[in-house]
A = this chain, B = another copy of it.
Amino acid sequence: MSGDPSALLGRLSLNQETVRQWSLPELADGCARAGVRGVGLWRAPVQEYGVRAAARLVRDAGLRVTSLCRGGFLTATDPGERAAALEDNRAAVDEAAALGTDTLVLVSGGLPAGSRDLAGARERIADALGELGPYAAERGVRLALEPLHPMYAADRCVVSTLAQALDLAERFPAAQVGVVVDTYHLWWDDTVGAQIARAGGAGGTPSRIAAFQLADWVTPLPAGALLGRGQLGDGSVDLRWFRRRVEAAGYRGPIEVEIFQPALWARDGAEVLAEIVDRFRTHVG
């Protein structure tokens, strides 16, 4: 499949947050016009539009929802906060199922205020996965643990490497918990190639790769470090190397472009999407 550019383009999915200037109808229409067949959606705009209406909208546009962002934030120690997080994650699973996607991306959560206990936070995530995994799998949804770049370890996600995500995921059935391979978060890690092979089931185990997301790494980082992702090809990441590695690990699913960057949001959405398609051909295909 990797040898056929048109087949590869058929796997391209546009994460909604990449073109947040677009409303949901604009997104559905814009993707259909550009020949992009997949979209990754976010809970807030979907809830605002209405979950069922959003599901109908993307289905009518001939689009597949490749993932829903995001559940997670499972590291609270306070029992009330913890119960609320679990309840919110069950709602996220329901929304994913309603949208027809089998992938709910989880951003696991950072350290509670004042805590320095990374190991404890990681164990609370494991406990939560144990509670949420069966609920998700019964609804045809897999929890997709996303390791985030280590610069987010304190405030967003204490799962910082693909190895850590797999250590957690492998405690549960593969139908319940998978992992996200996102180039932005993982590009710097010299063990990521080996870990992608592990995720793909190198030992004869079922694949854990639930999603494959692309963004490039550009510097300098903006304040807060959240909105500085680069357009494909603008930065340091060997995107094609990543695609080849996930394919060598057996992954043939959607390839989602997820770039948080105000400069892209300030432009015409169709122009941004056309540029993404072009960059995708050049740097990924």
Contact = CB atoms under 8 A, between A and B. Distances in A.
Contacts of A150: 149-151, 188-189
Contact of A219 (B122, B154, B220): B154
Interface centre among A115, A187, A188, A220 (most CB of B within 10 A): A188
A190 B224 CA distance: 23
Contacts of A218: 154
Nearest to A164: B190
Nearest to A156: B219
Given A122-B190, A164-B190, A154 B236 contact: yes
Interface in A214-228: 217-225
Contacts of A160: 188-190
Contacts of A161: 189-190
Interface string A130-170: 00000000000000000001110111001011001000000
Given A118-B188, A150-B151, A222 B223 contact: yes
A278 B158 CA distance: 29
Interface residues of A, number: 35
Q: Is the interface of A mostly helix, strand, loop or mixed?
A: loop
Copies in the complex: 2
Contacts of A122: 190
A77 to B, nearest CB: 15
Contacts of A5: none
A242 B257 CA distance: 38
B236 A119 contact: no
A235 interface: yes
Interface in A174-233: 187-190, 217-225
A111 interface: yes
B221 A220 contact: no
Contacts of A238: 116-117
A227 to B, nearest CB: 11
Contacts of A221: 151, 221, 223-225
Contact of A225 (B118, B158, B220, B236): B220
Contacts of A118: 187-188, 190
A237 interface: yes
A236 B164 contact: no
A157 to B, nearest CB: 10
Given A160-B189, A220-B225, 17 more contacts: A111-B236, A116-B238, A116-B241, A118-B190, A122-B190, A150-B188, A153-B217, A154-B219, A154-B235, A155-B220, A160-B188, A161-B190, A220-B224, A221-B221, A221-B223, A222-B223, A223-B223
